[in-house]
């Protein structure tokens, strides 16, 4: 490792140097679409990838670049591209690696939109996916085909909290000449840096814990630079001449940065799910306190687990730090500081009791998000996963009584009091 | 492009343009444990401005095969073999760090083949401390980490890059890790063994320039200035607040210094 700054220092400083002209201490919001060229030669140099700089904010922007550089530093990546959302990050990753006729191996236990993208959207464009259980490494190995271009999974599956054994799956993928792409939204680099544990590319929904405030959507793709794209002929998008930029061969000219350069020079150029400078600014403010917040998230989650497992109104509690979780040992090995702040639990009384609980909480908020500083609650079966077929719901471990709790940073005494009164109200409905 | 040099398959970046031996040739020689990628922001820049660019990976580096060369003289001879293979009679040479020692040796022993010499973050000698040498031999990842750390200046450590979103330190680690195991140790040992710098500098007759950085921990500025003195050149560019990895950390300043120098050579 390099003698790099530590996590909390990087969270506050990485990617930003105060500009010489104004010396702004805070990262300025460069609210502009375009950038004045110094002269025609400068413009040509930018368009030919000869020099660094900005052309148009769909492709890059100084404020967004600070965020990208900060996230890359925190994750240990060689570069990052920020996107308008986490879903855009996943789509651009697939687009940079896959073409019609290609194949993906993916965990089956994931956020519904991730599943839908693979199963229903990409399949229309000739990209197929084999879904396998996240805790079955051999299933990943068996599913890899000659046309497989990426193996994909979430470190902490949403909403079932299955834990992906990243080093094991990474070795399987890399041994087969395929990169491991990880959705690290639920863990953040504070709990686990997948790129240091066998993964090659990380995507984030920055909307969640990274930002933490719930005021700005955003995503990021982080390139580990640790996959040899030229080891086989699977990745022509990176090892053959690019359709633009004078036919540049990204693998030869940018080496470890071939993938992330393709994302910017194709994904942002031709699709354009860019992040607004203002959102980047907001997300940077959130990341400044990521370490502190995650510490508190983990502390409050531990208290919440203690409360729920001892409450008579709760029939079961699922979280990877609990010894009865099937992936407990993997979680303990990979994430000793905690396995995220989302808890799944079953409320006695089923669907009606669940609805009553959610409608009675006062401190916690009922919404379709996770990772806010505030405690959030939702009933996945009737909201986030309502569009998934009943069979797929069962496969994803969803039941009518399931409550998903995203534990926030409030004083835990207040959350506990709130949950107590809401559970009391729910017990009257479910009785 | 790829070709065989001394029987070894060799990768040479041409900056995205077809190589033309009849054009004014710039050869970029990389430093210890590096590859052509350390000139990522020079290759395309100069190739698109009328020069024929050659940024080769020495054996066992980057995308080249083979086993590492073990002395600065061997490395200089290897670059001459590369020129011969491509039919390049004379070239301008840019050497970074150890690449500067190679360029120095090459220009001294093959004066008819070199028309101009630009030495970036270099010195008359590059001693390597025993701890780093031991690390390179026995714990290469640790040596790569240490060199990436020491090699970068404030920009790299601030994770601030001229290419939006990129990261100097982590890129440096991955670039060096992509070389064959043992390449870094061979390079560093070659630096340790090279003591002909002062003699070579005194023999050089072609125009020379020296580019130094004020925060260079690996070839501190005072040694870069001694190199300039030994070469008798006044073409010295001092880049403020920059570290050893000048070509990637401060590409604009480096290119701005190199371009007029070679335009008049």
pLDDT per position as a tens digit, B19-67: 998 899 999 999 999 999 999 999 999 999 999 999 999 999 999 999 9
Confirm if B186 and B95 have CB atoms less than 8 A apart.
no
ipTM of the complex: 0.96
Interface probe for A, chosen from B165, B169, B179 (most Cβ of A below 10 Å), is: B165
CA angle B174, B180, B186 (to 5 degrees): 110
CB atoms within 10 A of CB A413: 9
pLDDT value for B185: 98
**Does A80 sit within 8 Å of B16, measured CB to CB?**
no
Contact yes or no for A247 and B35 at CB 8 A:
no
B45 neighbors A42 (Cβ within 8 angstroms): no
Q: How many domains does chain B have?
A: 1
The sign one gets for the Cα dihedral B136, B142, B144, B145 is: negative
Report the share of chain A in percent with pLDDT over 70. 95
The answer to whether the bond into A159 is cis (omega within 30° of 0) is yes
- Mean pLDDT of all residues belonging to chain A: 94
CA A409, A411, A417, A423: dihedral to nearest 10 degrees? 10
User: In terms of C-beta density within 10 A (0-12 exposed, 13-18 middle, 19 or more buried), how is residue A209 classed?
Assistant: buried
Could you give the count of Cα atoms lying within 13 Å of A9 in the half-sphere of its Cβ? 7
Higher pLDDT, A140 or A393: A140
Identify the pLDDT of residue A389: 65
**Closest CA of chain A from B42, distance in Å:** 7
* Sheet strands (E) in A66-156: 79-83, 103-107, 128-132, 148-154
Alpha carbon of B36: minimum distance to chain A alpha carbons (Å): 8
Best of B159, B243, B245, B258 to substitute, by most chain A Cβ atoms within 10 angstroms, is B159
Q: Is A252 on the interface with B (CB under 8 A)?
A: yes
Looking at chain B, the whole-number percentage of residues with pLDDT higher than 70 is 100
How would residue B265 be classed by pLDDT, with cut points 50, 70 and 90?
confident
Pairing, β A103-107 against β A201-205:
unpaired
CB contact under 8 A, B158 and A15: yes
Find, among B17, B90, B80, B92, the residue nearest to B259 by Cα: B92
pLDDT at A158 (0 to 100)? 83
Q: Which of B48, B162, B173 sits opposite A2 (nearest CB)?
A: B173
Q: Is the pLDDT of residue A48 over 80?
A: yes
Q: What pLDDT is stored for residue A408 in this prediction?
A: 98
Question: What does the pLDDT look like over A293-336, one tens digit per residue?
Answer: 999 999 999 999 999 999 999 999 999 999 999 999 999 999 99
Distance CA A365, CA A358 (A): 8
In the block, residue with structure tokens 């090659």: A200
Residue A260: name the closest of B164, B17, B39 by CA.
Answer: B164
Give the tokens for residue B179.
């070389």
CB–CB of A2 and B174 under 8 A? no
User: B248 to chain A, minimum CA–CA distance in Å?
Assistant: 10
pLDDT tens by residue, B194-217: 999 999 999 999 999 999 999 999
* pLDDT, tens digit (0-9, with 9 covering 90-100), for B148-187: 999 999 999 999 999 999 999 999 999 999 999 999 999 9
From the list A49, A53, A73, which residue is nearest B167 (CB)?
Answer: A73
Domains of chain A: 7-287 (3.40.640.10), 290-430 (3.90.1150.10)
Q: What is d(CA A162, CA A332) in angstroms, rounded to the nearest whole number?
A: 13
List the single residue in B with minimal CA-CA distance to A67: B165
> pLDDT grade, residue A250 (50/70/90)?
very high
Residue A1: per-residue pLDDT = 38
Range of the domain at B160: 2-264
Task: Render pLDDT for A338-390 as a digit per residue (tens, 0 to 9).
Answer: 999 999 999 999 888 988 999 999 999 999 889 999 999 997 766 766 566 65
What are the backbone dihedrals phi and psi of residue A266, each rounded to the nearest 5 degrees, phi first?
A: -120, -55
Nearest to B208 by CA among B224, B193, B219, B195: B224
For residue A354, what pLDDT is reported? Answer: 87
Top pLDDT among A3 and A369 is at A369
User: What is the C-alpha to C-alpha distance for residues A18 and A21, in angstroms, rounded to an integer?
Assistant: 9
pLDDT tier at A396, thresholds 50, 70, 90? low
Contact A180, A170 (CB under 8 A): yes
- Model confidence at A58: pLDDT above 90: yes
> What CATH number corresponds to the domain at position B97?
3.40.50.1820
Could you tell me if A76 lies within 8 Å of chain B, comparing CB atoms?
yes
How large is the average pLDDT for residues A86-115? 96
Chain A residue numbers with beta carbons less than 8 Å from the beta carbon of B252 are 51
In chain A, whose CA is at the least distance from the CA of B160? Answer: A15
Confirm or reject contact between A53 and chain B (CB < 8 A): yes
């Amino acid at each position: 490792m390099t003698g790099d700054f530590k996590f909390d220092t990087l969270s506050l400083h990485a990617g930003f140097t105060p500009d010489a002209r104004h010396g702004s201490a805070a990262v300025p919001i460069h609210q502009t679409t375009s950038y004045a060229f110094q002269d025609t030669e400068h413009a040509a140099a930018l368009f030919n990838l000869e020099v660094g700089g900005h052309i148009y904010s769909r492709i890059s922007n100084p404020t967004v670049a600070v965020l990208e550089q900060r996230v890359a530093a925190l994750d240990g990546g060689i570069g990052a591209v920020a996107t308008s959302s986490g879903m855009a990050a996943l789509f651009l990753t697939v687009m940079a690696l896959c073409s019609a006729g290609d194949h993906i191996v993916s965990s089956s236990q994931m956020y519904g939109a991730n599943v839908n993208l693979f199963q229903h959207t990409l399949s229309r464009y000739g990209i197929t996916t084999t879904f396998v259980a996240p805790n079955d490494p051999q299933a990943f190995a068996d599913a890899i085909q000659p046309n497989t271009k990426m193996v994909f999974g979430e470190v902490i599956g949403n909403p079932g909290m299955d834990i992906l054994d990243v080093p094991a799956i990474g070795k399987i993928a890399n041994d087969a000449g395929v990169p491991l792409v990880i959705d690290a939204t639920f863990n953040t680099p504070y709990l686990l840096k997948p790129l240091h544990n066998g993964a090659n590319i990380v995507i984030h929904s920055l909307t969640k814990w990274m930002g933490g405030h719930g005021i700005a959507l955003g995503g990021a793709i982080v390139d580990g630079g640790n996959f040899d794209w030229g080891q086989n002929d699977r990745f022509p998008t990176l090892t053959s001449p690019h359709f633009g930029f004078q036919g540049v061969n990204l693998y030869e000219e940018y080496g470890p940065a071939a993938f992330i350069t393709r994302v910017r020079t194709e994904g942002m150029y031709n699709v354009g799910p860019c992040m607004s400078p203002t959102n980047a600014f907001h997300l940077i403010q959130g990341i400044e306190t990521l370490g502190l917040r995650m510490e508190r998230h983990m502390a409050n989650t531990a208290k919440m687990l203690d409360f729920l497992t001892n409450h008579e109104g709760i029939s079961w509690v699922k979280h990877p730090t609990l010894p009865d979780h099937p992936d407990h040992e993997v979680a303990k090995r990979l994430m000793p500081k905690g396995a995220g702040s989302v808890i799944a639990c079953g409320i006695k009384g089923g669907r009606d009791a669940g609805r009553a609980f959610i409608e009675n909480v006062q401190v916690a908020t009922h919404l379709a998000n996770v990772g806010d500083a505030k405690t959030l609650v939702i009933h996945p079966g009737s909201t986030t996963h309502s569009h998934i077929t009943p069979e797929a719901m069962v496969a994803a471990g969803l039941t009518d009584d399931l409550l998903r709790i995203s534990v926030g940073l409030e004083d835990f005494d207040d959350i506990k009091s709130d949950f107590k009164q809401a559970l009391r109200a729910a017990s009257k409905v479910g009785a | 492009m790829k070709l065989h040099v001394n029987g070894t398959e060799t990768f040479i970046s041409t900056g995205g343009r077809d190589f033309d031996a009849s054009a004014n040739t710039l050869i970029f020689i990389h430093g210890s444990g590096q590859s052509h990628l350390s000139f990522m922001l020079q290759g395309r820049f100069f190739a698109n401005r009328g020069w024929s660019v050659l940024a080769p990976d020495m054996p066992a580096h980057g995308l080249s095969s083979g086993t590492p060369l073990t002395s600065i003289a061997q490395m200089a001879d290897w670059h001459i073999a590369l020129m011969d293979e491509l039919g390049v009679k004379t070239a301008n040479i840019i050497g970074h760090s150890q690449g500067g020692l190679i360029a120095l040796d090459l220009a001294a022993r093959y004066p008819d083949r070199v028309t101009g010499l630009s030495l970036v973050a270099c010195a008359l000698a590059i001693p390597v401390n025993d701890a780093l040498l031991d690390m390179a031999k026995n714990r290469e990842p640790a040596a790569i980490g240490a060199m990436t750390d020491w090699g970068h200046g404030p920009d790299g450590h601030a994770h601030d890059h001229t290419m939006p979103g990129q990261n100097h330190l982590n890129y440096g680690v991955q670039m060096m890790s992509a070389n064959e195991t043992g390449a870094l140790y061979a390079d560093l040992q070659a630096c340790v063994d090279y003591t002909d710098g002062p003699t070579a500098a005194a023999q050089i007759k072609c125009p020379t320039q020296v580019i130094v950085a004020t925060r260079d921990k690996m070839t501190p500025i005072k040694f870069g200035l001694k190199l300039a003195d030994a070469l008798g050149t006044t073409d010295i560019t001092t880049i403020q607040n920059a570290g050893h990895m000048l070509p990637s950390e401060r590409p604009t300043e480096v290119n701005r210094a190199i371009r007029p120098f070679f335009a008049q050579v």
